[in-house]
Amino acid sequence: MNPQNFWAVVNKTAAGGHWLWQGEITECGFGKLNYDGWVHLAHDIAWLITRGVVPDGFQVFHSCAIARCVNPEHLWIGTSEEAENDGVRKARVKRKTGRPRIWANDAEKSRAYRLRKKCESQQIGPKRP
């Protein structure tokens, strides 16, 4: 991946210091790009270019909660459990064992469930052995 090509698709002048991906977006709002025959999340590539390889068992997360942001200063690596704890601490998410959400109607619940499952199952990047 040529870093110049990657950063050419980023708007570094957005408010709040966010560097917003201007290329393709997943249905879940994350930047995505095709590279070497695989679809990768833009924030993962930003981390790779600026910080190196993500260790096994870790993922790249946003500290700013802006899915399209690729500013390396707004990214961190951790486990899924650490990300959930961070989200709970910042009141972005409820614990998986917490009280179930109240839906306005069955259609809203079904739509949200389908989108969540689709986002969780997206084939992003090569599978690790």
6-22 per-position pLDDT tens digit: 999 999 999 999 999 99
127 is a domain residue:
no
- The mean of the pLDDT values for the chain is 77
Dist. CA 44–CA 54, nearest whole Å: 8
Q: Within a domain: residue 126?
A: no
What confidence category does residue 38 fall into, taking pLDDT thresholds of 50, 70 and 90?
A: confident
Domain that residue 105 falls in: 3-121
CATH code of 52's domain? 3.90.75.20
Residue-wise pLDDT tens digits, 68-112: 999 999 998 988 788 777 766 666 555 555 544 444 555 555 555
In a domain, 51, yes or no: yes
Entry pTM = 0.70
| Residue 113, φ and ψ in degrees, nearest 5 | -65, -45
In a domain, 21, yes or no: yes
Flag whether 76 is in a domain.
yes
Which residues have C-beta within 8 Å of that of residue 38, sequence separation ≥ 6? 125, 126
46 in any annotated domain: yes
Q: How far apart are the first and last CA of the chain?
A: 22
- The number of domains in the chain is 1
Task: Say if 80 falls within a structural domain.
Answer: yes
